[in-house]
């Protein structure tokens, strides 16, 4: 490879030209392409398989087949409902897949590849073996390779090796895929592509669209496990009771047995969770928000601390030079030429240097006098806080210059720092141009020590117009905001103060922070704005906050944010940020708008709060179904319901309402212990519903004894169960809005229609006989409703959560 690097060097340019078009075609024909498969979503086959082939679908499928053989079509309605639900789940997840893949194309990193001597940005999948890939600050190595060119090229490999210090690369050194550039520039040749690359498999796993590893999903899996444990023995007892002990008519016994088993299965819970997440992805996609890991929607809703990088988050990426102040009698025209030469010496200038390039373009005499040919360059590093270059003039004299943070380049107490502080207090960013002592190596730690201050460059940062409103939103939601930046602390505090952030007037210089984690955590709790923070310190700050039990989100766009983004609970990157930040973040704001974050929080809260509501509905049904089966076995009576009755009840009190409730707005702050909170409400609700229904059923059996009217007994029990469960729905629907009230009323009206319309009576085998028992059923249901209110109030009192009772009850 080294020989090849020499052979393809363009003498005129003094650099490697890369592969020719013919060589690229030859490698493509041989299959030597970076053909790592798309990682943004599951395949269509995986989506269909995950929605169709589930444990509960298998159980319901068997039961459905049995009912189709022995019972009327009315009793098999539950099977058609499951087919419809599964179809809805598949369609919604396919829509989410399409949205994600479309956004991923927009946000996809396009490495700069040199071919035929020209550089062009191409898709990662188009890289071939032997391609020459250019690198600059923030770029990620997408394949393995060997360094060909290096100009102060420093690569961070900590995400792969765990080593925190950047590695200085020289020609011939290896480059690992997954590492990223923190300073300098260069180029490397691809030696391993596709699945052979070091980080290919890791990247595939890290970036895959997934529905797992969230408290919500794990909680639902736990609930389903408990349900399975309860369902198996109960179902066996019910089968024995209905087929052996009572010796009923075989077909009727089978139908009632299936009617008892089917409602134990919370079949729609997983579906609605998937649909809620999928629709969240679609909604966020419309706002140009790419969710690279689905649980990030849920995770950001649980966040109680947001750490923000100032540049690119609170401020826009661009800056403007507003003033140039020569120091110590320096000639302003000479300073301008030096600044122009410094700008021209860096092929990949950061935002600050780009502002200088725009203000002092190269070519206006920069090559004369104080400019000259660059003999050595020192790329900007977040750790150093300065960059530099050494220029050789016509007589061979070499002059070194440094450009960076005044409080780093100047000794403490220097009078110039007072002027810098006054500028910083106005929210301005200030750089110092300093001339190094003769013969000093730019890379030496003492290079700044003997430097002579030559000029101050004052930069104005553009505030994002939506940043103030976003900070106010987080304050209202009781989410603490911490601004951590590499810039001067006073300047960062001034910017945050302009945006109305509380505590911005007490900015902390991170160089004075303690290194011990517990002490650092105390400082982080007390402070709001931190300046002069190194990349490693950002990582330590995130860890310190997490050690205090906080769920931390980190936003950023620069290479200095990568490590903190990786370690945070939720990493949020700007679409215009570096390739490395986008690669490690769970959420990418493709529109570069910090104001999109509240939408992500709102989606997460909607999902968590609403799934908690509907999970309570589904688990209430499971509890009363299991309890009814146990009571039937213990009392040795016929199971009161046919499948058609419970299909009707499930549709009106759970299925249709749950679909609307799962997608409704919900701003309640997410809280932990999902399973515990759901079971606290669903168990007493299910017990009350089961007991009141069985009491009505026993009274009806006694009242209608000798008439052989099993349909009348079932109808009375159905009435009680409907009224009690509709009251559960009414409680869960709180706080009331016009559409929530309308939803409950519509379900009541639908049930009354079934009781009033003759053909619906016959279809569902429901007919109230007489007036005594129907009114008795209503009274028993009213008692059940009172018990429900008392039970829910008691649970509310025990949980002692903040906020109105009606909202605490369900979220």
- Domains in the chain: boundaries: 210-283+601-808, 289-314+464-592, 324-458
Cβ–Cβ under 8 Å, residues 401 and 374: no
Answer yes or no: is pLDDT of 811 > 60.
Answer: no
Question: What is the 8-class DSSP label of residue 464?
Answer: P
Answer yes or no: is pLDDT of 766 > 70.
Answer: yes
CA of residue 182 relative to chain centroid, distance: 25
Mean pLDDT is highest, among 34-48, 85-99, 349-363, for: 349-363
pLDDT at residue 789 in the model: 93
Answer yes or no: is pLDDT of 406 > 60.
Answer: yes
Q: Which fold has domain 210-283+601-808?
A: Calcium-transporting ATPase, transmembrane domain (1.20.1110)
Q: Does domain 289-314+464-592 have CATH number 3.40.50.1000?
A: yes
Q: How would DSSP label each residue in 683-722?
A: HHHHHHHHHHHHHHHHHHHHHTTTTT-HHHHHHHHHHHHH
Answer yes or no: is pLDDT of 125 > 60.
Answer: yes
Question: What is the 8-class DSSP label of residue 415?
Answer: T
Question: What is the 8-class DSSP label of residue 119?
Answer: E
Taking the CB of residue 22, how many other CB atoms lie within 10 A of it? 9
Answer yes or no: is pLDDT of 213 > 50.
Answer: no
Mean pLDDT of 489-509: 88
Taking the CB of residue 154, how many other CB atoms lie within 10 A of it? 19
Mean pLDDT of 582-608: 82
pLDDT-derived band of residue 720, with 50, 70 and 90 as boundaries? very high
pLDDT at residue 775 in the model: 93
Mean pLDDT of 738-761: 93
The CA distances from residue 194 to 180, 200, 203, in Å, are: 18, 7, 11
**Which of 104-118, 333-347, 661-675, 797-811 shows the lowest per-residue confidence on average (mean pLDDT)?**
797-811
Cβ–Cβ under 8 Å, residues 585 and 289: no
pLDDT-derived band of residue 412, with 50, 70 and 90 as boundaries? confident
Q: For the chain, what percent of residues have pLDDT higher than 90?
A: 16
pLDDT-derived band of residue 809, with 50, 70 and 90 as boundaries? very low
The CA distances from residue 20 to 17, 26, 27, 116, 328, in Å, are: 8, 10, 11, 5, 53
Report d(CA 223, CA 678) in Å as an integer.
9
**Which of 440-454, 535-549, 754-768, 785-799 shows the lowest per-residue confidence on average (mean pLDDT)?**
440-454
pLDDT at residue 247 in the model: 57
Report d(CA 139, CA 169) in Å as an integer.
14
Mean pLDDT is highest, among 24-33, 84-93, 370-379, for: 24-33
State the pairing for strand pair 144-156/118-121: unpaired
pLDDT-derived band of residue 544, with 50, 70 and 90 as boundaries? very high
Mean pLDDT of 222-245: 76
370 catalytically annotated? no
Question: What is the 8-class DSSP label of residue 404?
Answer: E
The phi and psi torsions of 246 (rounded to 5 degrees) equal: -80, -20
pLDDT at residue 745 in the model: 95
Answer yes or no: is pLDDT of 728 > 90.
Answer: yes
Joined together, the tokens standing for residue 366 give: 């920069």
Answer yes or no: is pLDDT of 12 > 50.
Answer: no
Q: What's the whole-number average pLDDT of the chain?
A: 80
State the pairing for strand pair 315-326/552-556: unpaired
pLDDT-derived band of residue 753, with 50, 70 and 90 as boundaries? very high
pLDDT-derived band of residue 710, with 50, 70 and 90 as boundaries? low
Question: 3-state class of 798 per DSSP?
Answer: helix
pLDDT-derived band of residue 203, with 50, 70 and 90 as boundaries? very low
> Residue 683: which region, alpha, beta or left (left: phi > 0; alpha: psi -120 to 50)?
alpha
Helix runs in 477-596, H state only: 489-498, 517-526, 535-547, 562-567, 579-584
pLDDT at residue 807 in the model: 37
Report d(CA 368, CA 372) in Å as an integer.
6
- CA-nearest of 543, 546, 564, 541 to 554 is 564
Active site residue: 8, 144, 304, 309, which one?
Answer: 309
Question: For the chain, give me the number of helices (H) and strands (E)?
Answer: 30, 23
Q: Which residues pair with 192 in a beta bridge?
A: 144
Question: 3-state class of 740 per DSSP?
Answer: helix
Answer yes or no: is pLDDT of 253 > 50.
Answer: yes
- CATH superfamily, domain 324-458, is Calcium-transporting ATPase, cytoplasmic domain N (3.40.1110.10)
Cα angle 137, 143, 148; round to 5: 65
Answer yes or no: is pLDDT of 292 > 80.
Answer: no
Mean pLDDT of 444-464: 82
Cβ–Cβ under 8 Å, residues 704 and 720: no
> Residue 257: which region, alpha, beta or left (left: phi > 0; alpha: psi -120 to 50)?
alpha
Report d(CA 384, CA 361) in Å as an integer.
25
Report d(CA 401, CA 436) in Å as an integer.
6
CA of residue 585 relative to chain centroid, distance: 8
**CA torsion sign, 20 to 21 to 26 to 31?**
positive
pLDDT, one tens digit per residue, over 304-354 is: 899 988 877 788 767 888 889 898 888 888 889 888 888 888 777 877 888
pLDDT at residue 246 in the model: 55
pLDDT at residue 392 in the model: 78
Write the CB contacts of 724 (distance below 8 Å, at least 6 apart in sequence): 688, 689, 692, 693, 781, 784, 785, 788
Answer yes or no: is pLDDT of 671 > 90.
Answer: no
- CA-nearest of 265, 255, 263 to 638 is 255
To 10 degrees, the CA torsion angle through 531, 532, 537, 543? 0
Answer yes or no: is pLDDT of 154 > 70.
Answer: yes
pLDDT at residue 367 in the model: 39
pLDDT-derived band of residue 712, with 50, 70 and 90 as boundaries? confident
Mean pLDDT of 60-86: 74
**Which of 314-328, 364-378, 699-713 shows the lowest per-residue confidence on average (mean pLDDT)?**
364-378
Answer yes or no: is pLDDT of 466 > 90.
Answer: no
pLDDT at residue 19 in the model: 87
In which element (H, E) is residue 84 found? helix 77-107
């Amino acid at each position: 490879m080294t020989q090849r690097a020499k052979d393809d060097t363009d003498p005129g340019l003094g650099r490697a030209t890369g592969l020719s078009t013919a060589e690229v075609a030859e490698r493509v024909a041989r299959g030597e392409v970076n053909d790592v498969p798309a990682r943004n979503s599951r395949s269509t086959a995986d989506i269909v398989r995950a929605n169709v082939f589930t444990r509960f679908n298998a159980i319901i499928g068997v039961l459905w087949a049995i009912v189709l053989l022995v019972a009327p079509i009315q009793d098999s309605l539950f099977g058609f409902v499951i087919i419809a639900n599964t179809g809805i789940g598949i369609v919604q997840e396919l829509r989410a897949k399409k949205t994600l893949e479309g956004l991923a194309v927009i946000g996809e990193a396009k490495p700069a590849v040199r071919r035929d001597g020209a550089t062009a940005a191409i898709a990662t999948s188009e890289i071939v073996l032997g391609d020459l890939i250019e690198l600059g600050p923030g770029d990620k190595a997408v394949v393995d390779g060997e360094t060909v060119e290096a100009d102060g090229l420093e690569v961070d490999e900590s995400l792969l090796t765990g080593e925190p210090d950047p590695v200085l690369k020289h020609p011939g050194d290896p480059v690992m895929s997954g590492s990223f550039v923190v300073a300098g520039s260069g180029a490397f040749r691809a030696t391993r592509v596709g699945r052979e690359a070091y980080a290919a498999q890791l990247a595939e796993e890290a970036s895959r669209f997934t529905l797992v590893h969230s408290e919500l999903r794990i909680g639902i899996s736990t609930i389903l496990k408990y349900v399975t444990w309860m369902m198996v023995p109960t179902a066996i007892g019910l089968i024995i009771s209905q087929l052996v002990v009572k010796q009923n008519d075989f077909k009727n016994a089978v139908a009632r047995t299936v009617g008892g088993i089917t409602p134990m299965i919370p079949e729609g819970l997983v579906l609605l969770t998937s649909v809620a997440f999928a629709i969240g992805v679609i909604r966020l996609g419309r706002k140009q928000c790419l969710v690279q890991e689905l649980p990030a929607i849920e995770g950001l809703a649980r966040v109680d601390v947001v750490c923000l990088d100032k540049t690119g988050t609170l401020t826009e990426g661009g800056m403007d030079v507003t003033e140039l102040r020569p120091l110590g009698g320096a000639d302003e025209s000479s300073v301008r030429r030096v600044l122009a030469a410094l700008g021209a010496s860096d092929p990949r200038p950061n935002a600050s240097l780009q502002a200088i390039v725009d203000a002092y373009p190269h070519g206006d005499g920069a090559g004369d006098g104080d400019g000259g040919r660059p003999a050595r360059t020192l790329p900007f590093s977040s750790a150093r806080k300065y960059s530099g270059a050494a220029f050789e003039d016509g007589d061979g004299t070499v002059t070194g210059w440094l450009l960076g943070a005044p409080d780093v380049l100047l000794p403490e107490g220097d009078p110039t720092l007072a002027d810098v502080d006054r500028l910083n207090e106005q929210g301005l960013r200030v750089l110092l141009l300093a001339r190094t002592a003769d013969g000093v190596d730019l890379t030496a730690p003492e290079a700044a020590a003997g430097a002579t201050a030559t000029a101050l460059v004052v930069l104005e940062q553009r505030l994002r117009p939506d940043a103030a409103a976003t900070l106010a939103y987080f304050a209202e939601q009781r989410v603490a905001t911490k601004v951590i930046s590499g810039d001067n602390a006073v300047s960062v505090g001034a910017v945050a103060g302009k945006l109305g952030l509380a505590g911005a007037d007490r900015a902390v210089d991170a160089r004075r922070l303690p290194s011990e984690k517990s002490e650092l955590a105390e400082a982080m709790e007390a402070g709001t704005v931190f300046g002069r923070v190194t990349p490693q310190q950002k990582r330590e700050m995130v860890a310190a906050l997490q050690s205090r039990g906080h769920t931390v989100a980190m936003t950023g766009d620069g290479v200095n944010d990568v490590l903190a983004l990786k370690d945070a609970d939720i990493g949020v990157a700007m679409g215009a940020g570096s390739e490395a930040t986008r690669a490690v973040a769970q959420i990418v704001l493709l529109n570069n708008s910090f104001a999109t974050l509240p939408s992500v929080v709102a989606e997460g809260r909607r999902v968590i709060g609403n799934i908690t509501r509907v999970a309570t509905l589904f688990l209430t049904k499971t509890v009363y179904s299991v309890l009814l089966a146990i009571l039937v076995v213990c009392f040795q009576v016929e199971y009161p319901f046919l499948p058609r009755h419970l299909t009707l009840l499930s549709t009106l009190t759970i299925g249709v309402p749950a679909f609307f409730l799962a997608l409704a707005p919900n701003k309640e702050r997410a809280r932990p212990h999902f399973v515990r909170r759901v079971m606290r409400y669903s168990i007493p609700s299910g017990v009350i519903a089961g007991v009141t229904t069985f009491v009505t059923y026993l009274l009806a059996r006694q009242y209608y004894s000798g008439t052989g009217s099993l349909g009348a007994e079932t109808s009375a029990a159905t009435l009680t169960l409907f009224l009690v469960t509709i009251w559960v729905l009414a409680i869960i629907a709180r706080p009331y809005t016009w559409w929530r009230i309308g939803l409950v009323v519509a379900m009541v009206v639908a049930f009354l229609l079934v009781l009033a319309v003759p053909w619906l009576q016959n279809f569902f085998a429901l007919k109230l006989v007489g007036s005594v028992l129907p009114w008795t059923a209503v009274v028993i249901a009213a008692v059940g409703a009172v018990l429900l209110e008392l039970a829910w109030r008691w649970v509310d009192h025990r949980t002692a959560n903040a906020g109105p009772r009606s909202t605490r009850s369900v979220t």
